[in-house]
Amino acid sequence: MTEIRHLNIGGDRSLAYRHRSGRGPTLLFLPGYMSDMEGGKATALDAWAEGQGRAMLRFDYAGCGGSEGDFGAQTLGGWRDDVLALIDEIVQGPVVLVGSSMGGWLMLLAALARPERVAGLVGIAAAPDFTSWGFTEDQKMTILREGRLEEPSPYGEAPYVTTRGFWESGEALRLLHSDVAIDCPVRLLHGQADTDVPWTWSLELMKRLRSADVQTVIVKDGDHRLSRESDIALLIGTVQTLLEAL
């Protein structure tokens, strides 16, 4: 396993990351909301990259995992800037972004900001615009009125927290109201049994993307995490085929 390093992003703030050198393009894994670089999909993809001699970078957003910062003070725009900082400061040459859930939204924002650097995208239950469709009107009013919403999380003991700052940042960065001006190859994986991000959003994203090279795979019995052995094999196979075509 590569050692944890830190990238200073201004003042006393730094991002924790693990970087493996090798053949490019560099794979850059973007975790989901309240997740980090030590998740099962990220580590499995890193192990595969090591075996293939491929470059791989995974990291924690500010306020998450080993990175500094107050989680409650983070925004979607701030985390997008974290992704761009890693691309600009750590990676040499082209990157392929692999985004899980919210990371799928961030990969799109990063590709729009760095089209000359992003060679391909792989989304796993990608969730662009979830601040708009992922909350009821009552939940949105709670966020606006009280400044935060806390919900039980099915993935751990810590509650699922959404702050007003994050929600407002997400609303300002919505993409699916018009065509998404991304031209690189895109691969989208989604479980049809996903109860957090309905699989139809991958079809909507596929329709909105300007790229002609977009493929969507729907796993009939797959849940939101797509972390079973068969799901990981699908992810790795998808990444490998995409890399070989670039």
Residue of 60, 129, 224, 231 marked active site: 224
- Euclidean distance between CA atoms 131 and 149, whole angstroms: 12
Which residue, among 4, 8, 34, 32, has the nearest Cα to 20 in the 3D structure? 4
| For residue 198, cis peptide bond before it (omega within 30 degrees of 0) | no
Q: What is the number of domains present in the chain?
A: 1
The domain containing residue 170 runs over which residues?
Answer: 5-245
Question: Would you call 224 a catalytic residue per the annotation?
Answer: yes
DSSP tag of 62: T
Pairing status of strand 95-100 against strand 118-124:
parallel
pLDDT in tens, 79-123: 999 999 999 999 999 999 999 999 999 999 999 999 999 999 999
Distance linking the first and last C-alpha atoms of the chain: 27
- The structure's pTM equals 0.96
Beta-carbon contacts of residue 146 (< 8 Å; ≥ 6 apart): none
What would the pLDDT profile of 221-243 be if each residue is shown by its tens digit? 999 999 999 999 999 999 999 99
Q: Token digits for 100? A: 């899980």
Mean of all residue pLDDT scores within the chain: 96
- Active-site residue, selected from the candidate residues 101, 129, 190, 202: 101
Instruction: Give the pair of three-digit tokens for residue 116.
Output: 């000359």
Residue 66 has pLDDT above 80, yes or no: yes
One-letter amino acid of 78: G
- At 34, which CATH number? 3.40.50.1820
pLDDT computed for residue 96 by the predictor? 98
* CA 76 to chain CA centroid, nearest Å: 11
Distance CA 177, CA 168 (A): 16
Is-catalytic flag, 101?
Answer: yes
For residue 50, the SS3 value is: helix
Tokens of 46: 């890193």
Q: Calculate mean pLDDT across residues 21-36.
A: 96
Catalytic annotation present for 19: no
What distance lies between CA 145 and its chain's CA centroid? 28
